[in-house]
A = this chain, B = another copy of it.
């Protein structure tokens, strides 16, 4: 099946779509050298064909009718950069149904319906690649599937949402409050007008579900991910964290002990000496621990027109190489391990606790006794006056404790008369490897 030119149907012509067109046209010669074939954009699906575009030369390819791409026998590959679930899902399934290969940047779709899409692709012998769906410009999915194919990955940690990392970095560097930094981020375009999906951790959770599926070869679903966002992180939490040697990050965690796995996204105290602690601003990073390889980390831009478009076009290059070799549909390994989720008693972590108590003699003793009764011991404690000395504030870092014990402690604490308020409770990275 030697063809001189591979013909692409592009769905979506926003920032990423524009980047895809620019890269393909700028690197035509290099791409041809690598793949042996030319790459040509044949049709572009847009919502409004009359809208002014930054790339004028493509105007005659625009269409608002998806069938002109999906049912077009002249199109070999569909590149989907519309985003969202519907109609992207119908388009992609339609493309596969017509035997077209697919490259997508759609994390929402792959996190929710990846299994269905990959199984349709397998049935049709088509490629589906989605490197751009996680950590934009970082080729992390390839690393998991190929670079570590001979290893057993035990832990992945990701700063995979640029908006929240920008906000937490600003809060840390400037001692600013969450609400103020969020407003600033919205003004700068780093956060959306409705920031819920980012700040509540849902975006990061989608990416962690994709990473965990590939890294552990277990079919993880979005609802398997414990999610907590950053909207309740205060500047005091960050300041106390720093004092104790930590930076607060919205950390995706995927961990495997034996065959049991856990995946979460939550604000986490990361030791300053850990390479993830110095990943700042809108940058993303994914830390991977493998039994044989040990510690590795991949760092880069998590979003942006050109980084995301680079990942999309690199996937497209893989599709084109596969076409010229006649081996499409064999690239990704479908998850083949049974999903065994940890229960909360198996999720071990250190915790950061900040509580306000009545400033009475013996309060700290009562609290540590209560923790000891739940098998929780302390690594660090700070007690200091609060509210002009009428109360005290206690900041604790625990040793490893189970999530169930910690949840139960928090419930008990809310009932204890001497405790005025449980201000915050965060996972602390470390102590488990």
Which residue numbers of A lie inside 8 Å of B, CB to CB? 19, 23-24, 26-27, 30-31, 33-34, 131, 137-139, 142-143, 146-152, 217, 275, 278, 283, 290-301, 304, 306-307, 309-311, 313-314, 316-318, 321, 325, 327, 330, 333, 336
Rounded to whole angstroms, the CA-CA distance of A283 and B24 in the bound complex is 36
Query: Which A-B residue pairs are the 10 nearest by beta carbons?
Result: A139-B147, A296-B300, A150-B313, A137-B293, A292-B306, A297-B299, A292-B310, A149-B317, A325-B327, A293-B310
The listed residue (B31, B278, B301, B304) touching A150 by CB distance below 8 A is B31
Closest to A35 in B: B149
Rounded to whole angstroms, the CA-CA distance of A217 and B32 in the bound complex is 14
Closest to A141 in B: B147
Provided the pairs A27-B152, A143-B143, A150-B310 are in contact, do residues A275 and B293 lie with their beta carbons within 8 angstroms?
Answer: no
Cβ–Cβ contact B301 & A294, under 8 A: yes
Closest CB in chain B relative to A284 CB, distance in Å: 10
Copies of this protein in the complex: 2
Cβ–Cβ contact A138 & B296, under 8 A: yes
Cβ–Cβ contact B296 & A301, under 8 A: yes
Closest to A294 in B: B301
Cβ–Cβ contact A33 & B146, under 8 A: no
Closest CB in chain B relative to A409 CB, distance in Å: 35
Q: Can you name 18 extra interface pairs (CB under 8 A) apart from A142-B146, A146-B314, A148-B314?
A: A24-B150, A30-B152, A31-B149, A33-B336, A137-B290, A137-B296, A139-B147, A142-B142, A146-B146, A147-B314, A150-B316, A283-B295, A290-B310, A291-B306, A292-B310, A295-B299, A297-B298, A298-B298
The listed residue (B150, B217, B307, B327) touching A292 by CB distance below 8 A is B307
Closest to A305 in B: B292
The interface residues of chain B lying within 8 Å CB-to-CB of A147 are 131, 139, 142-143, 311, 314
Rounded to whole angstroms, the CA-CA distance of A93 and B309 in the bound complex is 40
Closest CB in chain B relative to A375 CB, distance in Å: 33
Q: By CB atoms of chain B within 10 A, which of A24, A142, A150, A327 has the most?
A: A150
Cβ–Cβ contact A295 & B300, under 8 A: yes
The interface residues of chain B lying within 8 Å CB-to-CB of A138 are 296
12 example contacts (A-B, Cβ-Cβ < 8 A) are as follows: A27-B151, A34-B149, A137-B293, A139-B146, A149-B313, A150-B317, A151-B310, A278-B278, A291-B306, A294-B306, A298-B298, A325-B330
Cβ–Cβ contact A300 & B294, under 8 A: yes
Rounded to whole angstroms, the CA-CA distance of A137 and B147 in the bound complex is 9
